[in-house]
């Protein structure tokens, strides 16, 4: 197999392996990657070509660790896991400055609504006139959560590890 697969080029598992090959030449080939992942070349090929529809979670974890690609875990949770598809938000891995700017914008929006949230919650009830404001606050909190998760993913990828 050549160094630049065409059929699997748009597959996230292949993209992450190829990106990791910049730091580990053995990952340039499926053969080298499969050996390091302790799986057969045909299994890895099936993952990268999208032939295997339900990739075992332990394989995704091994690839994410070997490739230094925590985004694979999020991709698995948001696309392949039956629970995650409905409960986990996809996060994007972007440049640090872009992630921080987006997160700051979300925080500013949510900060504007902070007083409104306190007013809404003061009596312990949500009346019909407060519902639209509360919905907007929840959307802002979702945006902050997405921004925080994107920043966390960037830190894991670039500073090495989830406990940083």
DSSP result, 118-148: HHHHTTS---TTTHHHHHHHHHHHHHHHHHH
19 pLDDT band, cuts 50/70/90, is very high
Pair (80, 114) in one structural domain: no
At CA 158, angle to CA 91 and CA 107, rounded to 5? 45
On whether both 83 and 116 belong to a single domain, the answer is no
Range of the domain at 83: 12-87
If you average pLDDT over residues 132-156, what whole number do you get? Answer: 81
**Number of folded domains in the chain?**
2
Confidence of residue 5 (pLDDT cuts 50, 70, 90): low
Residue 27 near residue 21, CB atoms below 8 Å: yes
Segment 82-131, tens digit of pLDDT: 888 888 888 777 776 777 777 677 667 665 555 666 677 777 777 888 88
69 and 20 belong to one structural domain: yes
* pLDDT (0 to 100) of residue 162: 53
One domain for residues 83 and 101: no
Q: Which of 55, 87, 119 is the last residue of a domain?
A: 87
Q: Are residues 127 and 74 in the same domain?
A: no
Is residue 83 located within the same domain as residue 20? Answer: yes
Residue finishing a domain among 38, 58, 87 = 87
CA–CA distance, 88 with 110 (Å, rounded to integer): 21
Domain shared by 43 and 20, yes or no: yes
Q: Are residues 76 and 120 in the same domain?
A: no
Together in a domain, 20 and 77: yes
Asked if residue 1 belongs to a domain, the reply is no
Residue 164 lies in a domain: no
Q: Which of 87, 116, 145 is the last residue of a domain?
A: 87
Kindly state whether residue 153 falls inside one of the protein's structural domains. yes
């Amino acid at each position: 197999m050549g160094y630049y697969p065409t059929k699997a080029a748009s597959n996230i598992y292949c993209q992450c392996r190829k990106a990791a090959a910049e730091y580990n030449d053995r990952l340039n080939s499926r053969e080298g990657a499969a050996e390091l992942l302790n799986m057969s070349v045909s299994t890895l090929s099936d993952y990268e070509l999208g032939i295997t529809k339900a990739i075992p979670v332990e394989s995704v974890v091994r690839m994410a660790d070997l490739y230094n690609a925590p985004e694979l875990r999020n991709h698995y949770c948001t696309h392949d896991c039956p629970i995650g598809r409905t409960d986990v938000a996809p996060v994007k891995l972007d440049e640090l400055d872009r992630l921080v700017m987006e997160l700051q914008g979300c925080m500013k929006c949510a900060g504007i609504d902070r007083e409104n949230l306190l007013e809404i919650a003061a009596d312990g009830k949500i009346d019909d006139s407060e519902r639209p404001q509360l919905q907007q606050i929840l959307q802002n909190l979702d945006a902050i959560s997405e921004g925080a998760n994107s920043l966390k993913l960037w830190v894991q990828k670039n500073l090495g590890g989830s406990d940083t």
